[in-house]
A = this chain, B = another copy of it.
């Protein structure tokens, strides 16, 4: 009896029903990343399309700066895809700020029908999922999935004004400054594609809210690890796969503290992700030299790492199949100050290498399940 049968026999339908395997997988045909100065100085610095030395972007406020990051990234992604805004059917986008103001003011001029999303730092996973669903169903020739964060807007939103110079514990993460955007195209337009796609989106596993009762907003890795665990575990069940079916399983911003918890939780269930697990928050900075403590965080962290580092590795075939699992901590200053816990959510997206020339979408060492 395999795990899926076990799950079914428990009578818990939900456990087998959080995923979609796309019969005809959409492609990510272009992606762009605009990062801040600190991110540019980190290990991935050479990979970003643009590194902004002025994180204020010449604007009057940090929020306007984050909007400018979004606008620049979206325009760059479109340029790389060789498309105009009019050729994008839907925009799936979000940020960390209350009422998504970075998105509202950043993407207004594109005049693309918008689905505003909030998944905390998991937003790029949520956006990619809905964009792939729309493209695969034929609702859209192509969509744009986008997420951003900005260190300064997030500090102001969630913590203290920067000038206060408050101390950060070693479990704290550093909100990344940057924006990532990916163009997702449906199979019906793939015939037109002249360039090699970055990856195909072959499936998704959508997360539920998971709350282990942690209340420390300065240790979001620990708060999000159970959500990442649940989504990865659920994904393995739904697709009848294990870590052996992936070259990399990449979480968003668990950082070093959350990573240890995730690996422990999965090991208890018989999955050993040592050597396969990677976390965007850990990759983005040199934590010792850059004083970022547990790692990077924010929607932008996984979004820029995806667009600048992960997708190109998949495109070149270094990784044939990746499970990308951005993670979000669902808190606000109001909920935190009222003594609420910090629940987490994580959305999984399966990204696969596309063999060039063969016309096969899902080639490589694994077939599509």
The segment from A92-100, A191-199, A275-283, A314-322 that touches chain B is A92-100
Report the minimal beta-carbon distance from A117 to chain B, rounded to whole angstroms: 6
Chain B, residue nearest A126 (CB) = B115
Q: Which of B17, B120, B338 contacts A63 (CB 8 A)?
A: B338
- Given A60-B338, A334-B63, A208 and B112 contact (CB-CB distance below 8 Å): yes
22 pairs across A/B with beta carbons < 8 Å? A12-B86, A13-B87, A14-B86, A18-B113, A63-B338, A97-B98, A97-B334, A98-B333, A100-B330, A104-B209, A105-B340, A108-B211, A108-B343, A113-B207, A115-B126, A115-B130, A116-B345, A117-B117, A130-B130, A133-B133, A133-B134, A156-B334
B14, B18, B331: which contacts A85 (Cβ < 8 A)?
B14
A101 touches B334 (CB 8 A): yes
- Which of B86, B97, B133 is in CB contact (< 8 Å) with A332? B97
Contact A331 B14 (CB under 8 A): no
CB closest chain-B residue, reference A345: B114
The docked-state distance in angstroms from the alpha carbon of A283 to that of B110 is 34
Residue of A64, A113, A156 with most chain B CB atoms under a 10 A cut-off: A113
Hey, which bits of chain A sit against chain B, CB under 8 A? 12-14, 17-18, 20, 60-61, 63-64, 85-87, 89-90, 94, 96-101, 104-105, 107-108, 110-120, 126, 129-130, 133-134, 136-137, 139, 156-157, 206-209, 211, 330-335, 338, 340, 343, 345
Total identical chains: 2
With A100-B330, A110-B208 already in contact, 16 other A-B pairs whose C-beta atoms are closer than 8 Å: A14-B86, A14-B111, A94-B118, A97-B98, A98-B157, A98-B332, A99-B118, A104-B209, A111-B208, A113-B207, A114-B207, A114-B209, A115-B117, A133-B134, A156-B334, A157-B334
